[in-house]
A = this chain, B = another copy of it.
Amino acid sequence: MTEALDAVLTRLDADFDASLARLFDLLKIPSISTDPAFRADCAHAAERLVADLAAIGFDASVRSTPGHPMVVAHWKQAPGKPHVLFYGHYDVQPVDPLGLWTTPPFEPRLETAGDGSQRIVGRGASDDKGQIMTFVEAARAYIAEIGGLPVNVTILFEGEEESGSPSLVPFMAATAEELRADVALVCDTGMWDRQTPAITTRLRGLVGEEITIACADKDLHSGMFGGPALNPIRVLTRILGELHDDEGRVTIPGFYDGVGEVSEAIKANWASLGFDEAAFLGGVGLTTSAGEAGRSALELVWSRPTAEINGITGGYTGDGFKTVLPAVAKAKVSFRLVGDQDPDKIRAAFRAFVHDRLPPDARVAFHPHGGSPGLRLNDDSPALHKALAALADEWGRPAAMVGSGGSIPVVGLFKSMLGMDSLMIGFGLDDDRIHSPNEKYELESFRKGQRSWARVLAALAE
Protein backbone atom coordinates (compact mmCIF):
# COMPACT_ATOMS: atom_id res chain seq x y z
CA MET A 1 0.00 0.00 0.00
CA THR A 2 1.33 3.44 -0.84
CA GLU A 3 1.71 6.07 1.83
CA ALA A 4 -0.82 8.33 0.09
CA LEU A 5 -3.50 5.65 0.01
CA ASP A 6 -2.82 4.85 3.65
CA ALA A 7 -3.36 8.47 4.59
CA VAL A 8 -6.57 8.65 2.57
CA LEU A 9 -7.94 5.54 4.27
CA THR A 10 -7.10 6.97 7.69
CA ARG A 11 -8.85 10.22 6.80
CA LEU A 12 -11.93 8.36 5.60
CA ASP A 13 -12.18 6.58 8.93
CA ALA A 14 -11.73 9.82 10.88
CA ASP A 15 -14.35 11.62 8.79
CA PHE A 16 -16.89 8.79 8.82
CA ASP A 17 -19.49 10.35 11.10
CA ALA A 18 -19.53 13.51 9.03
CA SER A 19 -19.91 11.47 5.85
CA LEU A 20 -22.93 9.74 7.37
CA ALA A 21 -24.54 13.08 8.16
CA ARG A 22 -24.03 14.17 4.57
CA LEU A 23 -25.69 10.98 3.32
CA PHE A 24 -28.66 11.51 5.65
CA ASP A 25 -29.18 15.00 4.25
CA LEU A 26 -29.36 13.52 0.76
CA LEU A 27 -31.70 10.71 1.85
CA LYS A 28 -34.15 13.26 3.25
CA ILE A 29 -34.92 14.52 -0.25
CA PRO A 30 -37.84 12.50 -1.75
CA SER A 31 -36.42 12.34 -5.27
CA ILE A 32 -38.99 9.86 -6.70
CA SER A 33 -38.47 10.19 -10.43
CA THR A 34 -41.45 8.19 -11.70
CA ASP A 35 -44.03 10.43 -10.02
CA PRO A 36 -44.35 13.94 -11.45
CA ALA A 37 -45.36 15.22 -7.99
CA PHE A 38 -41.72 14.95 -6.89
CA ARG A 39 -40.18 16.86 -9.77
CA ALA A 40 -38.90 19.70 -7.60
CA ASP A 41 -37.39 17.22 -5.15
CA CYS A 42 -35.41 15.58 -7.92
CA ALA A 43 -34.03 18.98 -8.94
CA HIS A 44 -33.21 19.68 -5.30
CA ALA A 45 -31.21 16.45 -5.01
CA ALA A 46 -29.25 17.28 -8.16
CA GLU A 47 -28.46 20.80 -6.92
CA ARG A 48 -27.31 19.49 -3.57
CA LEU A 49 -24.89 17.03 -5.21
CA VAL A 50 -23.47 19.74 -7.47
CA ALA A 51 -22.89 22.02 -4.51
CA ASP A 52 -21.13 19.23 -2.62
CA LEU A 53 -18.92 18.25 -5.58
CA ALA A 54 -18.01 21.88 -6.23
CA ALA A 55 -17.05 22.26 -2.58
CA ILE A 56 -14.72 19.28 -2.88
CA GLY A 57 -13.02 20.78 -5.93
CA PHE A 58 -14.87 19.38 -8.92
CA ASP A 59 -16.00 21.48 -11.85
CA ALA A 60 -19.63 20.54 -11.26
CA SER A 61 -22.90 21.57 -12.86
CA VAL A 62 -26.59 20.72 -13.08
CA ARG A 63 -27.54 19.91 -16.66
CA SER A 64 -31.22 20.26 -17.44
CA THR A 65 -33.04 17.72 -19.62
CA PRO A 66 -36.68 17.41 -20.72
CA GLY A 67 -37.01 15.18 -17.63
CA HIS A 68 -35.01 15.31 -14.43
CA PRO A 69 -31.58 16.99 -14.54
CA MET A 70 -28.19 15.30 -14.85
CA VAL A 71 -25.24 16.08 -12.61
CA VAL A 72 -21.88 16.28 -14.39
CA ALA A 73 -18.59 16.97 -12.59
CA HIS A 74 -14.95 16.85 -13.67
CA TRP A 75 -11.60 16.66 -11.92
CA LYS A 76 -8.87 16.29 -14.55
CA GLN A 77 -5.65 17.37 -12.93
CA ALA A 78 -3.76 14.08 -13.24
CA PRO A 79 -2.01 14.36 -16.63
CA GLY A 80 -0.91 11.05 -18.10
CA LYS A 81 -3.17 9.09 -15.81
CA PRO A 82 -6.27 7.19 -16.89
CA HIS A 83 -9.64 8.88 -17.07
CA VAL A 84 -12.59 7.17 -15.41
CA LEU A 85 -16.29 8.01 -15.63
CA PHE A 86 -18.16 7.33 -12.40
CA TYR A 87 -21.92 6.78 -12.77
CA GLY A 88 -24.75 6.51 -10.24
CA HIS A 89 -28.27 7.83 -9.81
CA TYR A 90 -29.84 10.18 -7.29
CA ASP A 91 -33.46 9.27 -8.00
CA VAL A 92 -35.31 6.65 -5.95
CA GLN A 93 -38.26 4.26 -6.25
CA PRO A 94 -41.79 5.16 -5.12
CA VAL A 95 -42.49 4.23 -1.51
CA ASP A 96 -45.87 2.51 -1.75
CA PRO A 97 -47.22 0.63 0.11
CA LEU A 98 -46.39 3.34 2.62
CA GLY A 99 -48.18 1.52 5.45
CA LEU A 100 -45.52 -1.19 5.49
CA TRP A 101 -42.70 1.22 6.40
CA THR A 102 -41.74 1.07 10.07
CA THR A 103 -40.64 4.70 9.99
CA PRO A 104 -41.19 7.37 7.31
CA PRO A 105 -39.15 6.54 4.18
CA PHE A 106 -37.54 9.96 3.94
CA GLU A 107 -36.53 10.25 7.59
CA PRO A 108 -33.33 8.16 7.50
CA ARG A 109 -32.16 6.54 10.71
CA LEU A 110 -29.61 4.05 12.02
CA GLU A 111 -31.00 0.70 13.16
CA THR A 112 -29.11 -1.93 15.11
CA ALA A 113 -29.63 -5.50 13.89
CA GLY A 114 -29.83 -8.55 16.11
CA ASP A 115 -26.12 -9.31 15.56
CA GLY A 116 -25.15 -5.81 16.67
CA SER A 117 -24.41 -4.55 13.18
CA GLN A 118 -25.88 -1.23 12.14
CA ARG A 119 -27.76 -0.28 9.00
CA ILE A 120 -29.02 2.91 7.42
CA VAL A 121 -32.80 2.71 6.87
CA GLY A 122 -34.60 4.90 4.32
CA ARG A 123 -35.67 5.04 0.68
CA GLY A 124 -32.55 5.26 -1.49
CA ALA A 125 -30.17 4.15 1.27
CA SER A 126 -28.91 1.30 -0.91
CA ASP A 127 -30.41 2.22 -4.30
CA ASP A 128 -28.52 4.36 -5.05
CA LYS A 129 -27.73 7.34 -2.80
CA GLY A 130 -25.68 5.39 -0.25
CA GLN A 131 -23.68 3.84 -3.06
CA ILE A 132 -22.89 7.06 -4.93
CA MET A 133 -21.80 8.75 -1.71
CA THR A 134 -19.16 6.01 -1.11
CA PHE A 135 -17.39 7.34 -4.20
CA VAL A 136 -17.95 11.01 -3.41
CA GLU A 137 -16.46 10.51 0.07
CA ALA A 138 -13.41 8.71 -1.35
CA ALA A 139 -12.84 11.61 -3.75
CA ARG A 140 -13.31 14.15 -0.93
CA ALA A 141 -10.72 12.38 1.22
CA TYR A 142 -8.15 12.20 -1.61
CA ILE A 143 -8.35 15.88 -2.44
CA ALA A 144 -8.41 16.94 1.21
CA GLU A 145 -5.54 14.69 2.20
CA ILE A 146 -3.17 14.76 -0.77
CA GLY A 147 -4.52 17.59 -2.89
CA GLY A 148 -5.78 15.51 -5.78
CA LEU A 149 -7.08 12.23 -7.21
CA PRO A 150 -4.83 9.44 -8.54
CA VAL A 151 -6.73 9.37 -11.85
CA ASN A 152 -8.78 11.83 -13.87
CA VAL A 153 -12.44 11.58 -12.89
CA THR A 154 -15.68 12.56 -14.53
CA ILE A 155 -18.88 12.00 -12.57
CA LEU A 156 -22.34 11.49 -14.08
CA PHE A 157 -25.34 11.26 -11.76
CA GLU A 158 -28.66 10.54 -13.39
CA GLY A 159 -32.13 11.35 -12.01
CA GLU A 160 -34.27 9.03 -14.13
CA GLU A 161 -32.79 5.57 -13.51
CA GLU A 162 -35.94 4.35 -11.74
CA SER A 163 -38.23 5.66 -14.46
CA GLY A 164 -36.76 4.29 -17.66
CA SER A 165 -34.04 6.94 -18.26
CA PRO A 166 -35.90 8.76 -21.06
CA SER A 167 -33.36 11.61 -21.20
CA LEU A 168 -30.21 9.51 -21.05
CA VAL A 169 -29.70 8.70 -24.72
CA PRO A 170 -30.17 12.24 -26.04
CA PHE A 171 -28.02 13.62 -23.22
CA MET A 172 -25.21 11.15 -23.87
CA ALA A 173 -25.40 11.83 -27.60
CA ALA A 174 -25.04 15.57 -26.94
CA THR A 175 -22.20 15.20 -24.40
CA ALA A 176 -20.38 12.14 -25.73
CA GLU A 177 -17.00 13.86 -25.99
CA GLU A 178 -17.30 15.27 -22.48
CA LEU A 179 -18.26 11.94 -20.93
CA ARG A 180 -16.03 9.51 -22.82
CA ALA A 181 -13.31 7.99 -20.60
CA ASP A 182 -11.04 4.96 -20.51
CA VAL A 183 -13.44 2.97 -18.41
CA ALA A 184 -16.70 3.54 -16.57
CA LEU A 185 -17.20 2.80 -12.89
CA VAL A 186 -20.85 2.03 -12.25
CA CYS A 187 -21.96 1.83 -8.64
CA ASP A 188 -25.47 0.35 -8.60
CA THR A 189 -24.87 -3.34 -7.81
CA GLY A 190 -24.19 -5.54 -4.80
CA MET A 191 -21.67 -7.69 -2.98
CA TRP A 192 -21.77 -11.47 -3.27
CA ASP A 193 -22.44 -11.67 0.44
CA ARG A 194 -21.76 -9.68 3.59
CA GLN A 195 -18.06 -10.59 3.55
CA THR A 196 -17.35 -10.99 -0.15
CA PRO A 197 -17.03 -8.05 -2.54
CA ALA A 198 -18.05 -8.57 -6.13
CA ILE A 199 -17.74 -7.13 -9.59
CA THR A 200 -20.76 -7.70 -11.75
CA THR A 201 -19.82 -8.90 -15.21
CA ARG A 202 -23.23 -9.97 -16.54
CA LEU A 203 -26.46 -7.98 -16.55
CA ARG A 204 -29.92 -8.81 -17.76
CA GLY A 205 -31.56 -6.33 -20.10
CA LEU A 206 -35.10 -5.03 -19.74
CA VAL A 207 -38.08 -4.35 -21.95
CA GLY A 208 -41.10 -2.65 -20.37
CA GLU A 209 -44.58 -2.57 -21.92
CA GLU A 210 -47.82 -1.09 -20.71
CA ILE A 211 -50.89 -2.77 -22.19
CA THR A 212 -54.46 -1.46 -22.15
CA ILE A 213 -57.42 -3.60 -23.21
CA ALA A 214 -60.67 -1.78 -23.99
CA CYS A 215 -64.03 -3.36 -24.85
CA ALA A 216 -67.33 -1.52 -24.30
CA ASP A 217 -67.29 2.26 -24.51
CA LYS A 218 -68.40 2.62 -20.88
CA ASP A 219 -68.51 0.71 -17.62
CA LEU A 220 -71.46 -1.71 -17.61
CA HIS A 221 -73.68 -3.34 -14.98
CA SER A 222 -72.83 -7.03 -14.83
CA GLY A 223 -76.49 -7.91 -14.29
CA MET A 224 -77.71 -6.07 -17.32
CA PHE A 225 -74.82 -6.97 -19.64
CA GLY A 226 -73.06 -9.92 -17.98
CA GLY A 227 -72.85 -12.76 -20.47
CA PRO A 228 -73.00 -11.10 -23.87
CA ALA A 229 -70.73 -8.15 -23.05
CA LEU A 230 -66.99 -8.73 -23.31
CA ASN A 231 -65.11 -8.02 -20.07
CA PRO A 232 -61.62 -6.59 -20.66
CA ILE A 233 -60.32 -8.06 -17.38
CA ARG A 234 -61.30 -11.47 -18.69
CA VAL A 235 -59.45 -10.75 -21.94
CA LEU A 236 -56.39 -9.47 -20.11
CA THR A 237 -56.15 -12.33 -17.60
CA ARG A 238 -56.69 -14.86 -20.36
CA ILE A 239 -53.83 -13.46 -22.43
CA LEU A 240 -51.41 -12.86 -19.55
CA GLY A 241 -52.31 -16.24 -18.05
CA GLU A 242 -50.93 -17.83 -21.21
CA LEU A 243 -47.51 -16.11 -20.99
CA HIS A 244 -45.96 -19.15 -19.26
CA ASP A 245 -46.33 -22.87 -19.84
CA ASP A 246 -46.55 -25.53 -17.16
CA GLU A 247 -42.74 -25.72 -17.03
CA GLY A 248 -42.38 -22.00 -16.32
CA ARG A 249 -41.13 -21.21 -19.82
CA VAL A 250 -42.31 -18.09 -21.62
CA THR A 251 -44.62 -19.07 -24.49
CA ILE A 252 -44.12 -16.06 -26.77
CA PRO A 253 -42.92 -17.42 -30.14
CA GLY A 254 -39.21 -16.70 -30.67
CA PHE A 255 -38.75 -15.47 -27.10
CA TYR A 256 -35.68 -17.67 -26.46
CA ASP A 257 -33.92 -16.77 -29.73
CA GLY A 258 -30.34 -15.72 -28.86
CA VAL A 259 -30.55 -16.71 -25.21
CA GLY A 260 -27.81 -19.35 -25.37
CA GLU A 261 -26.55 -21.53 -22.55
CA VAL A 262 -23.95 -20.58 -19.96
CA SER A 263 -20.64 -22.43 -20.40
CA GLU A 264 -19.84 -25.35 -18.13
CA ALA A 265 -16.83 -23.40 -16.77
CA ILE A 266 -19.01 -20.50 -15.62
CA LYS A 267 -21.58 -22.88 -14.18
CA ALA A 268 -18.77 -24.49 -12.18
CA ASN A 269 -17.55 -21.06 -10.99
CA TRP A 270 -21.05 -20.15 -9.82
CA ALA A 271 -21.40 -23.52 -8.12
CA SER A 272 -18.23 -22.73 -6.14
CA LEU A 273 -19.87 -19.65 -4.60
CA GLY A 274 -21.88 -21.89 -2.30
CA PHE A 275 -25.14 -20.19 -3.14
CA ASP A 276 -27.83 -21.26 -0.68
CA GLU A 277 -31.00 -21.40 -2.79
CA ALA A 278 -33.20 -22.34 0.16
CA ALA A 279 -31.92 -19.34 2.12
CA PHE A 280 -32.30 -17.03 -0.89
CA LEU A 281 -35.93 -18.00 -1.33
CA GLY A 282 -36.59 -18.42 2.38
CA GLY A 283 -35.38 -14.89 3.03
CA VAL A 284 -38.49 -13.60 1.27
CA GLY A 285 -40.93 -16.23 2.49
CA LEU A 286 -40.66 -18.67 -0.42
CA THR A 287 -39.60 -22.32 -0.62
CA THR A 288 -39.77 -23.31 -4.29
CA SER A 289 -38.24 -21.82 -7.41
CA ALA A 290 -41.04 -20.74 -9.73
CA GLY A 291 -38.92 -20.23 -12.86
CA GLU A 292 -38.08 -22.60 -15.67
CA ALA A 293 -38.06 -26.15 -14.39
CA GLY A 294 -34.66 -27.82 -13.93
CA ARG A 295 -32.59 -24.65 -13.49
CA SER A 296 -31.10 -23.29 -10.26
CA ALA A 297 -32.31 -19.98 -8.87
CA LEU A 298 -28.82 -18.49 -9.41
CA GLU A 299 -28.82 -19.61 -13.03
CA LEU A 300 -32.32 -18.18 -13.48
CA VAL A 301 -31.46 -14.76 -12.09
CA TRP A 302 -28.05 -14.40 -13.79
CA SER A 303 -28.56 -16.08 -17.13
CA ARG A 304 -32.23 -16.66 -17.97
CA PRO A 305 -34.85 -14.28 -19.38
CA THR A 306 -38.24 -13.69 -17.80
CA ALA A 307 -41.69 -12.31 -18.48
CA GLU A 308 -43.31 -10.66 -15.47
CA ILE A 309 -46.49 -8.75 -14.79
CA ASN A 310 -45.40 -5.84 -12.58
CA GLY A 311 -48.81 -4.27 -12.20
CA ILE A 312 -52.41 -4.92 -13.15
CA THR A 313 -55.60 -2.96 -12.60
CA GLY A 314 -59.17 -2.95 -13.81
CA GLY A 315 -62.72 -2.50 -12.52
CA TYR A 316 -63.62 -1.75 -8.93
CA THR A 317 -60.78 -2.28 -6.46
CA GLY A 318 -61.94 -0.29 -3.44
CA ASP A 319 -63.67 -1.50 -0.30
CA GLY A 320 -66.76 -3.61 -0.72
CA PHE A 321 -68.02 -4.95 -4.01
CA LYS A 322 -69.23 -3.43 -7.26
CA THR A 323 -70.77 -5.65 -9.93
CA VAL A 324 -69.26 -3.68 -12.77
CA LEU A 325 -67.99 -4.78 -16.14
CA PRO A 326 -65.30 -2.17 -16.68
CA ALA A 327 -64.58 -0.53 -20.02
CA VAL A 328 -60.81 -1.02 -19.73
CA ALA A 329 -58.17 -3.10 -17.95
CA LYS A 330 -54.44 -2.43 -17.85
CA ALA A 331 -51.19 -4.17 -17.03
CA LYS A 332 -47.51 -3.31 -16.87
CA VAL A 333 -45.40 -6.17 -18.23
CA SER A 334 -41.62 -6.45 -18.33
CA PHE A 335 -39.11 -8.83 -19.82
CA ARG A 336 -35.61 -9.47 -18.48
CA LEU A 337 -33.28 -10.22 -21.36
CA VAL A 338 -29.98 -12.11 -21.64
CA GLY A 339 -27.42 -13.02 -24.30
CA ASP A 340 -28.34 -11.74 -27.72
CA GLN A 341 -32.07 -11.31 -27.19
CA ASP A 342 -33.09 -8.21 -29.15
CA PRO A 343 -35.29 -5.77 -27.16
CA ASP A 344 -37.11 -4.58 -30.28
CA LYS A 345 -37.88 -8.11 -31.42
CA ILE A 346 -39.07 -9.12 -27.94
CA ARG A 347 -41.38 -6.12 -27.79
CA ALA A 348 -42.77 -6.87 -31.25
CA ALA A 349 -43.20 -10.57 -30.40
CA PHE A 350 -45.14 -9.73 -27.24
CA ARG A 351 -47.41 -7.35 -29.12
CA ALA A 352 -48.06 -10.02 -31.76
CA PHE A 353 -48.76 -12.55 -28.99
CA VAL A 354 -51.43 -10.22 -27.60
CA HIS A 355 -52.93 -9.37 -30.98
CA ASP A 356 -53.17 -13.06 -31.85
CA ARG A 357 -55.34 -13.63 -28.77
CA LEU A 358 -57.68 -10.63 -29.00
CA PRO A 359 -61.33 -11.62 -29.33
CA PRO A 360 -63.75 -9.53 -31.42
CA ASP A 361 -64.55 -6.13 -29.84
CA ALA A 362 -61.38 -6.06 -27.74
CA ARG A 363 -58.99 -3.27 -28.64
CA VAL A 364 -55.42 -3.03 -27.38
CA ALA A 365 -53.04 -0.12 -26.93
CA PHE A 366 -49.38 -0.49 -26.03
CA HIS A 367 -47.08 2.03 -24.41
CA PRO A 368 -43.35 1.23 -24.35
CA HIS A 369 -41.25 1.76 -21.21
CA GLY A 370 -37.58 1.45 -22.16
CA GLY A 371 -35.64 -1.38 -23.74
CA SER A 372 -32.06 -2.57 -23.29
CA PRO A 373 -30.23 -5.79 -24.17
CA GLY A 374 -28.38 -8.02 -21.73
CA LEU A 375 -24.63 -7.41 -21.28
CA ARG A 376 -21.47 -9.43 -20.57
CA LEU A 377 -18.04 -7.97 -19.66
CA ASN A 378 -14.88 -9.43 -21.23
CA ASP A 379 -13.24 -11.57 -18.53
CA ASP A 380 -9.71 -10.52 -19.64
CA SER A 381 -10.02 -6.77 -19.07
CA PRO A 382 -6.89 -5.36 -17.24
CA ALA A 383 -9.01 -2.75 -15.41
CA LEU A 384 -11.27 -5.55 -14.18
CA HIS A 385 -8.33 -7.43 -12.68
CA LYS A 386 -6.86 -4.29 -11.03
CA ALA A 387 -10.22 -3.60 -9.44
CA LEU A 388 -10.63 -7.20 -8.31
CA ALA A 389 -7.26 -6.99 -6.55
CA ALA A 390 -8.10 -3.67 -4.88
CA LEU A 391 -11.36 -5.06 -3.52
CA ALA A 392 -9.60 -8.16 -2.25
CA ASP A 393 -7.13 -5.93 -0.36
CA GLU A 394 -9.94 -4.09 1.42
CA TRP A 395 -12.17 -7.05 2.25
CA GLY A 396 -9.51 -9.66 2.91
CA ARG A 397 -10.83 -12.25 0.48
CA PRO A 398 -11.07 -12.70 -3.29
CA ALA A 399 -13.76 -10.72 -5.03
CA ALA A 400 -16.43 -12.66 -6.88
CA MET A 401 -17.29 -12.19 -10.56
CA VAL A 402 -21.02 -12.37 -10.54
CA GLY A 403 -24.09 -11.82 -12.66
CA SER A 404 -26.97 -9.56 -11.88
CA GLY A 405 -30.59 -10.16 -12.70
CA GLY A 406 -31.43 -6.49 -12.92
CA SER A 407 -30.75 -4.32 -15.92
CA ILE A 408 -28.56 -1.21 -15.83
CA PRO A 409 -29.32 0.34 -19.19
CA VAL A 410 -26.53 2.90 -18.87
CA VAL A 411 -23.92 0.13 -19.05
CA GLY A 412 -25.24 -0.85 -22.45
CA LEU A 413 -25.24 2.78 -23.57
CA PHE A 414 -21.66 3.33 -22.36
CA LYS A 415 -20.69 0.42 -24.56
CA SER A 416 -22.78 1.22 -27.62
CA MET A 417 -22.55 5.03 -27.59
CA LEU A 418 -19.15 5.73 -26.00
CA GLY A 419 -17.27 2.48 -26.67
CA MET A 420 -16.52 2.08 -22.94
CA ASP A 421 -16.54 -1.00 -20.79
CA SER A 422 -18.00 -0.66 -17.31
CA LEU A 423 -16.75 -2.02 -14.01
CA MET A 424 -19.90 -2.58 -11.96
CA ILE A 425 -18.83 -2.35 -8.35
CA GLY A 426 -21.29 -1.87 -5.53
CA PHE A 427 -21.78 -2.70 -1.90
CA GLY A 428 -25.48 -3.51 -1.61
CA LEU A 429 -26.73 -6.77 -0.15
CA ASP A 430 -29.56 -9.01 -1.31
CA ASP A 431 -31.55 -8.23 1.82
CA ASP A 432 -31.37 -4.46 1.34
CA ARG A 433 -35.08 -4.38 0.39
CA ILE A 434 -34.46 -2.03 -2.51
CA HIS A 435 -37.74 -1.08 -4.22
CA SER A 436 -39.56 -2.35 -1.08
CA PRO A 437 -40.61 -0.84 2.22
CA ASN A 438 -37.86 -0.35 4.84
CA GLU A 439 -34.98 -0.22 2.35
CA LYS A 440 -31.61 -0.29 4.16
CA TYR A 441 -27.86 -0.09 3.51
CA GLU A 442 -25.37 -1.69 5.86
CA LEU A 443 -23.25 0.84 7.74
CA GLU A 444 -20.32 -1.45 6.94
CA SER A 445 -21.15 -1.22 3.23
CA PHE A 446 -21.01 2.55 3.51
CA ARG A 447 -17.72 2.51 5.44
CA LYS A 448 -15.81 -0.14 3.50
CA GLY A 449 -17.37 1.07 0.26
CA GLN A 450 -15.63 4.42 0.71
CA ARG A 451 -12.34 2.64 1.47
CA SER A 452 -12.83 0.31 -1.49
CA TRP A 453 -13.13 3.20 -3.92
CA ALA A 454 -9.99 4.78 -2.49
CA ARG A 455 -8.17 1.54 -3.26
CA VAL A 456 -9.73 1.04 -6.70
CA LEU A 457 -8.76 4.56 -7.79
CA ALA A 458 -5.19 3.95 -6.65
CA ALA A 459 -5.09 0.62 -8.49
CA LEU A 460 -6.44 2.07 -11.73
CA ALA A 461 -3.68 4.73 -11.65
CA GLU A 462 -0.98 2.07 -11.89
Q: Is A360 an interface residue (CB 8 A)?
A: yes
Q: How far is the CB of A53 from chain B (nearest CB, A)?
A: 28
Q: Is A217 an interface residue (CB 8 A)?
A: yes
With A216-B286, A233-B309, A287-B360 as known contacts, state yes or no: A405 contacts B225, CB within 8 Å: yes
On whether the beta carbons of A227 and B332 are closer than 8 Å, the reply is no
Q: For the complex, give the distance between the alpha carbons of A36 and B319 in Å.
A: 8
Q: How far is the CB of A24 from chain B (nearest CB, A)?
A: 24
Q: For the complex, give the distance between the alpha carbons of A277 and B332 in Å.
A: 35
Q: How far is the CB of A34 from chain B (nearest CB, A)?
A: 3
Listed residue (A231, A277, A311, A315) with the most chain B CB atoms within 10 angstroms of its CB = A311
On whether the beta carbons of B310 and A322 are closer than 8 Å, the reply is yes
Over the window 351-367 of chain A, the binary record of Cβ atoms lying under 8 Å from chain B Cβ atoms (1 yes, 0 no) is 00000000111000000
With A229-B284, A286-B229 as known contacts, state yes or no: A308 contacts B234, CB within 8 Å: yes
With A241-B237, A336-B222, A405-B225 as known contacts, state yes or no: A310 contacts B321, CB within 8 Å: yes
Residues of B within 8 A of A284 (CB): 216-218, 220, 225, 229
Interface size class of A (residues with CB under 8 A): 35 or more
Over the window 311-327 of chain A, the binary record of Cβ atoms lying under 8 Å from chain B Cβ atoms (1 yes, 0 no) is 11111111111111110
Closest residue on chain B to residue A325 by CB atoms: B308
B-contacting residues, A262-298, CB 8 Å = 277, 280-281, 284-292, 297
Q: Is A104 an interface residue (CB 8 A)?
A: no
Residues of B within 8 A of A97 (CB): 219
Residues of B within 8 A of A286 (CB): 215-216, 228-230, 361
On whether the beta carbons of B301 and A237 are closer than 8 Å, the reply is no
On whether the beta carbons of B317 and A231 are closer than 8 Å, the reply is no
On whether the beta carbons of A221 and B310 are closer than 8 Å, the reply is no
On whether the beta carbons of B334 and A321 are closer than 8 Å, the reply is yes
Q: For the complex, give the distance between the alpha carbons of A244 and B231 in Å.
A: 12
On whether the beta carbons of B242 and A241 are closer than 8 Å, the reply is yes
Q: How far is the CB of A179 from chain B (nearest CB, A)?
A: 25
Q: Is A422 an interface residue (CB 8 A)?
A: no
Partner of A241, one of B238, B310, B315: B238
Q: For the complex, give the distance between the alpha carbons of A220 and B286 in Å.
A: 12
Residues of B within 8 A of A311 (CB): 233, 314-317, 322, 324, 326
On whether the beta carbons of A406 and B290 are closer than 8 Å, the reply is no
Residues of B within 8 A of A206 (CB): 223, 323
Residues of B within 8 A of A233 (CB): 240, 309-312, 331
Residues of B within 8 A of A281 (CB): 228-229
On whether the beta carbons of A435 and B219 are closer than 8 Å, the reply is yes
Closest residue on chain B to residue A204 by CB atoms: B223
Closest residue on chain B to residue A360 by CB atoms: B288
Q: Is A239 an interface residue (CB 8 A)?
A: yes
Q: For the complex, give the distance between the alpha carbons of A307 and B372 in Å.
A: 40
On whether the beta carbons of B312 and A237 are closer than 8 Å, the reply is yes
Residues of B within 8 A of A287 (CB): 360-361
Closest residue on chain B to residue A241 by CB atoms: B241
Partner of A315, one of B218, B234, B280, B309: B309
Residues of B within 8 A of A110 (CB): none
On whether the beta carbons of B436 and A221 are closer than 8 Å, the reply is yes
Q: How far is the CB of A399 from chain B (nearest CB, A)?
A: 19
Closest residue on chain B to residue A296 by CB atoms: B228
On whether the beta carbons of B290 and A228 are closer than 8 Å, the reply is yes
Residues of B within 8 A of A19 (CB): none
Residues of B within 8 A of A218 (CB): 100, 284-285, 433, 436-437
Query: Could you list 9 A-B pairs, sorted by A, with CB under 8 Å?
Result: A217-B284, A222-B336, A224-B406, A228-B290, A286-B361, A310-B315, A310-B323, A313-B317, A323-B406
- A sample of 4 more A-B contacts (CB under 8 A), given A36-B319, A96-B318, A230-B286, is A226-B301, A227-B289, A310-B326, A317-B330
